[in-house]
Structures are given as C-alpha cells and as structure tokens.
C-alpha cells in the first residue's frame, strides 16, 4: 500500500532538502555572518536558520560540520533559540568531543542564569552531552542544581545525576551524589523531585549492587518500612507516572503482618479509580502480591479489581485494551470463574483491530462453563459468518476448544455440523479439523458426525490439515461409511495432485485401516497407495509405506493390531503452556512478559546490546573444556530399539492433536515390535500386491537403521544396540580437529518440551543431564534465548568411534537444531535417535 521506506532521502526534490554540500556550506556562511550580529532582526534570522539546520538533522542529513558556527550563534537571550541549540549540541556532541568543549562555557553560564527555566534547560542539556572527558565540568553545576531554590531545576538535577552515572559511574559516586539524592528524596517538599531521586537511586543502586555491598544494602533500604510509608502517605501528591514508579517499588515490599497489608490496601484503594491505566494496573499488582498468602482476601481482591479492569478494557484506545486484555487473560487462567458472568464484555465489536478480537476470543474460550456456554457458542457462531476471514476461523476453533472442555457438547456438535453445511471452504476446513478432534475425545458422537462428513466431497477441501482430518475420519470410520473405500481409492489415484506430505501420510494410514475393515474393496487401493508411497521422494512418506509393506509381509494380524489397535478416547489433549510457565508470568504481572505470554527470561537479558553483538558472540564461541564428570554411576544405557520406538511415539502423543494418526495407545506395542526385531522375515512377498516395485536391499538397510527396526533383509546381522562409553574423553584440540575434518552425517531440527525450556534457565543443568546419558559437553555459550552447545560421545567397545554434536537451542521458539558428525557414519542415525531421546527427557 505504501511506497518503500525512505529513511535517508538523498535527492528528492522537497524544498526543505539540501541539494547537497552546497546548501550546508551556504548555511555555514549565513550562520557565520549572523554570529556576532547584534542587529534588531538578528534573532529572527537566526531562528529561521536554526530551524533549517534542525530539520536537516531530523531527516537524517549530517549537519555536524556546522557545529562551531552553531555554538558561535548560541550567545542569545531568546529561549527558543537556546532550546534549538541545545537540541543540536546534544545530538552531535558525542561525535565531536573537542568542539563540545566550546559549548561547555555557555552552558555553564546558562546554568547560573537568573531564570530557573533556563537554568533547568541548560543543566539538562549539559548532562545530555554524553562526552566522557567533559565529566569534570558537569559535577559543579549538578551539585548546585541539587541545591537550587527552584524545584524545576532540582528535578532536572536529580535526573542529571543518573545521566552522569551512565557516563562515568566513578565520577558520580566520588562526588557523593547518591547520598545527596537520598537526603533530597526524604526531605524535598516537591513531589517530582522526590520521584526523580527515587528513580535515579533505584537505577544507581541496582547497578552498583553487583560490586559493592554497601550499595546492595542501600538498595534494600529503598524497600524499608519508613521510606515505603513516607511515599505511600504522599502518593496522591505525585503525578501519575511517579505513582507508577512508587507502586512498582511497593509491589516488592514485604509487609511484616496482616494489619500492615490492610493499611496499604486501604491507602491505595482509590488508585483503582485513577484515570491512568498504568496506575490502575500498578495498584492491582500490589494488591495481588500482598495477598498471595491469604487465600480468602486474595479472592476478594479479584472481585474488587474486576470492574476497574473491565472499564479500562472497554474505555481506552485499542492499544490500551490490548495490554489490559493480556492481563485479564492471565487472571482468567488463574481464576476462570471470576469473569464467567461478564462474558458479554468479551464479545467482539466489528471495528476493533484483529489483535483485540483474537484475545477476546481466547477469553471467551477460557471462561466458558456450564452456565454460559450456550450464550458464548451462539455468539461465536455468528462470527463464523464474519467478513473478516481470520476471525471467522479463530471463532470456529474457539467453538471446538469449548467443546473439548466438555460443556454442552451435544449442542456444539450440532452447530459444528451446521458449519459444514455452510459450504464456505475455510469454514469447512476448520470444522473438519475440529470434528476430528471431537471424535477422538467423544467417540460416541461418531454416528451423527459421520453422516454429515460422508457428504463432503474431498474436492472441496484443499487445505492440508483439513484434508488430513477428512482422510483420517474416512479410515477410522470406514466400516460406517459405505463410500469410504471408493473415496480413498479416488484419492490414491490422484496421488500426484496432492503435494502435502502430511496428507499423503494420512492417506497411507487410512488405506491400511480401511483394508483391515473391508479387505476386498480396498485391496486395489492399498496396493496402489503402497506403490505410490514407496516411489515417493519424501523420506517420511517412503518410510511409512515401507514400514506398512513389511508389516503386511510379516504377519497380517500383527499389522492389524498395529494399525487398528483398540483405542481409548483421549481424555486430555496436551496443553502447550504448562502451569509452571503461567505461574512465572504471574510473578511478572504488569510487565511486558504478560503481553508475550512468556516469562521475561525468555526474551530479555540482552539489555543494552545490539543485534550484531549477539551474532558475534555466537560466532566467537570459544571451545573451552568442560571437565567430564567421572563420578556418575556407570549405568550402561541400552539403546534398545524398542525403547527408541516407544519414546518417539510417546513424543508424538504429547505434541498434540494435529499429527495424530500414528500416535495410538497400543497396549501390546512392545511385544509386537519385539517380535518383529527378533525374527527374520523371508523376502518373498506372500501378499500379492500388484504393481509393487522391485525391492532394493541397499536402500532399505539404511532405512532399517533409521527406523531402528533391525528388520534386516540381507544376511547381514542386525546392528548391535548402540552403547556409549560412560567415561569418554576428548580434549578440545582433537575435538576441533575432528569437527573440521568430518562431514555432517545427520542434521535435524525438532521441538523441545516446555519443561525443558524452563529448565534451560540455567544451561548448566542440561550439561549435567546429558552427562547422565554419557554425552559430554565440551563447550557451551550463548545468552537467552539462544544457546549453543558442543557435545561428544564415544561408542563403547571396539573400535572406539566418536560422535560430535553441535546443538543450537532457542528457548523462545522452543526448537533445537542438532548437527551430528561421526567417525563411523553408519552409526550416526542410531546416535541421533539416542541423543534426541536423551534431550527429550531433559527437565523431567
């Protein structure tokens, strides 16, 4: 909609633009002429010139070459001129420390001006110069500024101390400014001075606390009872922003007894009525924190804060509503009943931005219970016909989520089935996915659903997720749908038109299921599907086809037990956000964490650092030796094939309802696979499947290794289970050598569990955990959210072969990227599975 950004316009013909160097030198000349002029109109002329210079500066043109001329012109009594000059000087002083010295003189003079406004402005500018070697000129004016009779100047000076601290911490501490601030904070009659002292001291003491014990004590003293009460009693005199600061301070204060808690709450109660949303949220945070240990009062607090929060949400701008809604969402997770009668507040208005609507839909989902489900679902169903397609989709998903919460399922299923009759492609797609999830949880509804689903033509469903869902239902309920085998056959015939591997995988499984239920009708389709699957260039599709093929070869009844095991209804779908994470976020109420729905350690901690720093740091990650733990019990980890298979299938179960066709609860899975492993299956196919391509033993042995099946065709014996040497040793030098010599034999990316993300708060625990699995760490580094680890392991027995691993973990996206290099490339697959299994147990 808009043209590309023009941050540095260079040659555009706007009148305010310099046509190049000539205009700047022109400006320079004019400034020079005016510099000494005392003519009556000089100030106006100067003002026009200054405006031009600053407008150039604003659009990003470098006008630093005018520095000395600007300084020369700054001898004026006109306050606007002064302000413009201060602005200019503040912007360029850092780049011209020598020239900045020129400005010191007139700034210092202005600091002694009789007009307090000029004193204040000059002092502020002086502190904003940010030139380290000018610090000595700063101390004097700051000291007198703190003692100035005018409150405005003291306000500026209190903040100036903090600025000085950031330029030179030692100069600030040596001049004893912190203790002056402290005195001022306790005694100054002006509230803004007090507030600025407080914010300066908070920052200074927190920064100093790492190095000095005294500073740590002082920081504690900011939370002492007398000071907190001093501020609390005067809180109404402070302006709204200062009130936010004070409230933030108090939220960390620990009262000595319950009376104190009630005193504070009584004092602050009217803050809940404040017009400024930040003050209201700050107060709520204090209330929640104070009453954490008193369950009944805590509940009353919830009741008390409800109305202000709802008002805040519905009265402000959409941006404010969004921030408030994020907090409401957090509260609702804690106490869903709290808002269950106020559900109408979360109805979406047509003109709201979609980020607000999405959060409101989440709220509606969260507060649905027996009493309001009917109303909420009725409302959500209206959104399904919304002009905004993304909201329509979200609304349908919300209906599904509510259905899974077990309230009023009967009515909801009816409505979902009505959606299918709307014949809107995206509505159908979303609904199919939901119906599938519902059937997994409530198999008793299959009869009604199947009748409707059977009427949907697969041609009208294009989205992979929806198509997979439809295919899953066709396979699962093929005995109840007369058309199922023929629809599936039709889909198999059009295998090449289907580009999503997810759909192809589901198609394979569905055909298998259907085959066991209605063999004569499906036999052709199964043959064609397996043939197409084996010829597929996608590895996982190929693997699954091969796996089914061999299962069938081995024993049909075993295959049936694997594909169609007796299933239990899913009782709880794995939630993506653990309650532990929610608790952590709750501690950070009224902070940015709430908006991202992540604890702050997942995304902060990179303070005052740029993007380049992070990447550099990762690049320079030095290899340093971690002592290999020798004291660990030497338990031999049997990388049993069965174990591996089970752990992967469990993982899929946890990952949620989407990719579920292979994640069965198979009570006899163990024995089945064990039997498979121990037996040698003759190659001759006793199943007559037409069109199956010739079977290539070379390809399959590698696949066998990957699958860990050990179902070997050629006379070569099954590979021995991979065991790792518990006392592997490798020095950093040889690690680096090996790393550069070997090629990558396996590279993978996968999700890590939320609990692992939590445990990653201290990366050391991961190192210890992996040592438990005989995988040693040789180097690690990184800052949240990106970590990098180098691991190594050694195979037990002869010949000793090493595995080297580079593992990148991103805790904010919860993904891990693993590159494995191995002396013995053939064993890399086994090791990769072992590594993943070990990592997936992290945090348990």
Within 129-158, which residues bind another protein (CB under 8 A)? 130, 150-152, 155-156
Smallest gap from Cβ 69 to another protein, in A, equals 19
Which two structure tokens, joined as six digits, stand for 72? 């020369």
Closest CB to another protein among residues 254, 422: 422
Residue 113 interacts with another protein (CB under 8 A): yes or no: no
Shortest CB 806 distance to another protein, Å: 22
| Interface with another protein, residue 595, by CB under 8 A | yes
At 207, give phi and psi (nearest 5°). -70, -35
Burial class (CB in 10 A: 0-12, 13-18, 19+), 349: exposed
**Which residues does 841 contact at the CB level (< 8 Å), separation at least 6?**
769, 773
Task: Kindly list the strands in the beta sheet with 802-810, ordered across the sheet, starting from the edge strand earlier in the chain.
Answer: 746-751, 815-822, 802-810, 786-794, 776-783
Q: What is the DSSP letter of 639?
A: B
Q: Which of 55, 96, 405, 701 binds another protein (CB under 8 A)?
A: 55
Angle between helix 697-707 and helix 539-554 axes, rounded to 10 deg:
100
Q: Which of 72, 108, 143, 347 binds another protein (CB under 8 A)?
A: 347
Nearer to another protein, 239 or 444 (CB): 239
Q: Does 616 bind another protein (CB under 8 A)?
A: no
Q: Which is nearer to another protein, 319 or 624 (CB)?
A: 319
Among 74, 103, 192, 468, the residue binding another protein under the rule CB under 8 A is: 192
Nearer to another protein, 50 or 792 (CB): 50
609 near another protein, rule: CB under 8 A: yes
Please state whether beta strands 776-783 and 802-810 pair in parallel, antiparallel, or not at all (unpaired): unpaired
1 is a contact residue toward another protein (CB under 8 A): yes
Q: Is 600 in the site for another protein (CB under 8 A)?
A: yes
Q: Which of residues 242-271 bind another protein (CB under 8 A)?
A: 244-245, 248, 269-270
Q: Please tell me the distance from the alpha carbon of residue 367 to that of residue 371, in angstroms, as a whole number.
A: 10
Strands (E), 605-658: none
Near another protein by CB under 8 A: residue from 28, 52, 56, 163: 163
**CB closer to another protein, 176 vs 423:** 423
**Is residue 320 involved in binding another protein (CB under 8 A)?**
yes
> Any idea which residue has 């507060």 for tokens?
367
Binding string to another protein for residues 753 to 772, with x set by CB under 8 A, is what? Answer: --------------------
Which positions from 529 through 568 interact with another protein, judged by CB under 8 A? none
* Cβ contact 334:365 at 8 Å: no
Distance CA 446, CA 383 (A): 26
Instruction: Please identify, using beta-carbon distances, which residue of 269 and 624 lies nearer to another protein.
Output: 269
**Interaction between residue 40 and another protein (CB under 8 A):** yes
Interaction of residue 194 with another protein, rule CB under 8 A: no
Which uninterrupted H or E stretch holds 786?
strand 786-794
Binding mask 480-519 for another protein (x = CB under 8 A): ----------------------------------------
Q: If binding is defined by CB under 8 A, does position 60 make contact with another protein?
A: yes
Q: Distance between CA atoms of 394 and 392, rounded to whole angstroms?
A: 6
Residue 633 touching another protein (CB under 8 A):
no
Does 17 contact another protein by CB under 8 A? no
Q: Which of 281, 511, 531, 814 contacts another protein by CB under 8 A?
A: 281
Where do runs of H (alpha helix) occur along 442-500? Answer: 446-453, 464-476, 484-493
Rounded CA gap, 423 and 82, in Å? 69
Binding-residue total with another protein (CB under 8 A): 121
Which residues make beta-bridge pairs with 816?
A: 750, 809
- Which is nearer to another protein, 266 or 622 (by Cβ)? 266
Q: Map tokens 């995206």 to a residue.
A: 426
Q: Does 116 bind another protein (CB under 8 A)?
A: yes
Contact status: 689 vs another protein (CB under 8 A): no
Minimum CB separation of residue 398 from another protein in Å reads: 17
Yes or no: say if 446 and 410 are a contact pair by the CB < 8 Å rule.
Answer: no
Q: Which helix (H) or strand (E) holds 137?
A: helix 135-146
Q: How far is the CB of 215 from another protein (least distance, A)?
A: 19
Ranges within 359-418 binding another protein (CB under 8 A): 379, 382, 385-387
Cα–Cα distance for residue pair 159/127, rounded to 1 Å: 9
Question: Which one, 615 or 716, has the nearer CB to another protein?
Answer: 615
Which residue of 122, 264, 286, 324 would you call a contact of another protein, by CB under 8 A?
A: 324
For the record, the structure tokens of 619 come out as: 């690049």
Binding another protein (rule: CB under 8 A), the pick from 17, 45, 51, 480 is: 51
CB-CB neighbours of 459 under 10 Å:
8
Nearest distance from C-beta of residue 715 to another protein, angstroms: 56
By the rule CB under 8 A, 91 interacts with another protein: yes
Torsion of CA 53, 56, 62, 65, to 10 degrees: -20
Beta strand ranges found along 117-265 (DSSP E): none
459 binds another protein (CB under 8 A): no
Site membership for another protein, residue 735 (CB under 8 A): no
Say which residues have a Cβ less than 8 Å from residue 714's Cβ, sequence separation at least 6.
697, 701
Shortest separation between residue 166's beta carbon and another protein, angstroms: 4
Q: Which is nearer to another protein, 427 or 805 (CB)?
A: 427
Alpha-carbon span 166 to 199, nearest angstrom: 14
322 binds another protein (CB under 8 A): yes
Please identify, using beta-carbon distances, which residue of 162 and 820 lies nearer to another protein: 162
Name the minimum Å distance from CB 261 to another protein. 20
Q: How far apart are CA 43 and CA 647, in angstroms?
A: 80
Q: How far apart are CA 545 and CA 508, in angstroms?
A: 7
Smallest distance from another protein to CB 836, Å: 28
Residue (294 or 310) nearer to another protein, CB? 310
Rounded CA gap, 431 and 438, in Å? 10
Binding mask 220-239 for another protein (x = CB under 8 A): ----------------xxxx
| Separation of alpha carbons 57 and 95, rounded Å | 14
Pick one of 39, 275, 572, 694: the residue that binds another protein (CB under 8 A): 275
Tokens for 607, please give them: 């303070």
Nearest CB to another protein, comparing residues 315 and 716 = 315
Binding status of residue 54 toward another protein by CB under 8 A: yes
Choose one: 95-103, 609-617, 638-646, 760-768; the region binding another protein (CB under 8 A).
609-617
Q: Which of residues 296-315 bind another protein (CB under 8 A)?
A: 307-308, 310-312, 314-315
State yes or no: residue 431 binds another protein (CB under 8 A).
no
Contacts of 731 (CB under 8 A, 6+ apart): 625
Nearest to 590 by CA among 355, 328, 331, 327: 327
646 touches another protein (CB under 8 A)? no
Are the C-beta atoms of 184 and 199 separated by less than 8 Å?
A: no
Q: Please state the φ and ψ torsions of residue 133, each to the nearest 5 degrees.
A: -80, 5
Q: Are 778 and 626 in contact (CB under 8 A)?
A: yes
For residue 789, what are the β-bridge partners? 780, 807
Nearest residue (CB) to another protein, 202 versus 500: 202
- Is the Cβ of residue 192 or residue 553 nearer to another protein in the bound state? 192
Which tokens sit at 773? 């699995």
Name the token pair of 534: 């084996």
CB of 353 to another protein, least distance (A): 5
Give the range of 68-76, 207-215, 553-561, 585-593 binding another protein by CB under 8 A.
585-593
76 binds another protein, rule: CB under 8 A = no
């Amino acid at each position: 909609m808009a043209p590309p950004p023009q941050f540095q316009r260079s040659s555009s013909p706007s009148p305010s633009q310099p046509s190049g160097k000539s205009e700047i030198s022109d400006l320079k000349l004019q400034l020079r002429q005016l510099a000494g002029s005392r003519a009556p109109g000089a100030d106006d002329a100067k003002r026009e010139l200054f405006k031009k210079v600053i407008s150039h500066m604003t659009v990003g043109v470098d006008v630093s070459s005018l520095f000395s001329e600007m300084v020369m012109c700054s001898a004026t009594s006109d306050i606007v001129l002064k302000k413009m000059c201060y602005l200019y000087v503040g912007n360029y002083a850092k780049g011209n420390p020598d020239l900045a010295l020129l400005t010191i003189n007139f700034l210092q003079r202005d600091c002694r001006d009789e007009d307090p406004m000029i004193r204040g402005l000059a002092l502020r500018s002086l502190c904003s110069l940010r030139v380290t070697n000018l610090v000595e000129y700063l101390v004097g004016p700051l000291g007198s500024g703190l003692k100035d009779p005018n409150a405005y100047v003291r306000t500026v000076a209190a903040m100036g101390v903090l600025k000085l601290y950031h330029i030179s911490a030692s100069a600030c501490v040596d001049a004893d400014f912190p203790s002056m601030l402290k005195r001022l904070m306790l005694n100054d009659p002006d509230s803004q001075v007090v507030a600025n002292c407080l914010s300066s001291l908070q920052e200074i003491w927190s920064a100093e606390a790492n190095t000095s014990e005294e500073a740590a004590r002082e920081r504690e003293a900011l939370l002492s009872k007398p000071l907190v009460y001093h501020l609390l009693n005067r809180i109404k005199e402070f302006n709204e922003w200062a009130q936010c600061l004070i409230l933030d301070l108090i939220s960390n204060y620990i009262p000595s007894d319950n009376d104190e808690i009630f005193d504070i709450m009584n004092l602050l109660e009217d803050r809940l009525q404040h017009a400024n949303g930040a003050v209201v949220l700050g107060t709520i945070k204090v209330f929640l924190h104070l009453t954490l240990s008193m369950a009944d009062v805590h509940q009353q607090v919830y009741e008390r804060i409800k109305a202000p929060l709802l008002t805040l949400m519905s009265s402000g701008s959409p941006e404010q509503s969004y921030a408030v809604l994020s907090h409401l969402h957090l509260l609702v997770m804690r106490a869903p009943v709290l808002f269950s009668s106020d559900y109408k507040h979360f109805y979406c208005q047509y003109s709201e931005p979609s980020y607000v609507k999405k959060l409101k839909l989440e709220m509606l989902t969260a507060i649905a219970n027996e009493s309001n489900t009917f109303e909420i679902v009725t409302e959500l169903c209206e959104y399904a016909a919304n002009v905004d397609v993304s909201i329509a989709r979200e609304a349908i998903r919300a209906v599904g989520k509510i259905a899974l919460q077990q309230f009023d399922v009967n009515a909801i299923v009816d409505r979902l089935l009505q959606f299918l009759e709307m014949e809107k492609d995206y509505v159908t797609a979303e609904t199919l996915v939901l119906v599938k999830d519902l059937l997994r949880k409530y198999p008793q509804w299959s009869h009604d659903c199947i009748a409707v689903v059977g009427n949907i033509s697969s041609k009208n469903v294009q989205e992979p997720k929806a198509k997979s869902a439809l295919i899953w239902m066709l396979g699962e309920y093929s005995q109840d749908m007369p058309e199922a085998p023929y629809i599936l056959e039709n889909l198999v015939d059009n295998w090449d038109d289907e580009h999503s591997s997810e759909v192809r995988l589901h198609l394979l499984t569905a055909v298998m299921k259907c085959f066991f239920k209605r063999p004569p009708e499906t036999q052709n389709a199964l043959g064609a599907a397996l043939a197409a699957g084996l010829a597929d260039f996608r590895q996982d599709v190929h693997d699954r086809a091969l796996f089914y093929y061999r299962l069938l070869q081995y024993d049909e009844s075993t295959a049936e037990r694997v594909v169609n095991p007796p299933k239990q209804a899913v009782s709880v779908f794995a939630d993506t956000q653990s309650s532990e994470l929610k608790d952590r976020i709750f501690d950070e109420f009224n902070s940015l964490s709430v908006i991202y729905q992540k604890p702050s350690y997942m995304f902060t901690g990179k303070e005052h650092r740029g993007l380049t720093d992070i990447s550099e740091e990762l690049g320079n990650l030095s290899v340093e030796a971690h002592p290999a733990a020798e004291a660990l019990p030497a338990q031999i980890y049997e990388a049993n094939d069965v174990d591996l298979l089970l752990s992967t299938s469990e993982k899929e179960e946890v990952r949620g309802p989407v990719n579920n066709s292979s994640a069965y609860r198979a009570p006899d899975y163990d024995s089945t696979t064990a039997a498979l492993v121990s037996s040698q299956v003759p190659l001759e196919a006793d199943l007559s499947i037409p069109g199956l391509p010739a079977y290539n033993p070379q390809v399959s042995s590698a696949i066998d290794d990957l699958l860990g099946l050990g179902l070997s065709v050629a006379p070569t014996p099954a590979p021995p289970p991979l065991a790792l040497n518990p006392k592997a040793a490798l020095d950093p030098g040889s690690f680096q050598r090996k790393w550069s010599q070997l090629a990558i034999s396996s590279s993978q990316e996968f999700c890590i569990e939320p609990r692992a993300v939590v445990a990653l708060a201290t990366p050391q625990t991961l190192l210890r955990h992996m040592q438990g699995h005989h995988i040693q760490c040789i180097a690690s580094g990184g800052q949240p959210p990106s970590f990098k680890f180098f691991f190594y392991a050694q195979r037990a027995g002869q010949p000793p072969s090493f595995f080297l691993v580079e593992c990148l973990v991103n805790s904010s996206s919860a993904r891990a990227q693993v590159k494995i290099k191995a002396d013995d490339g053939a064993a890399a697959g086994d090791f990769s599975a072992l590594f993943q299994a070990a990592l997936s147990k992290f945090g348990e």
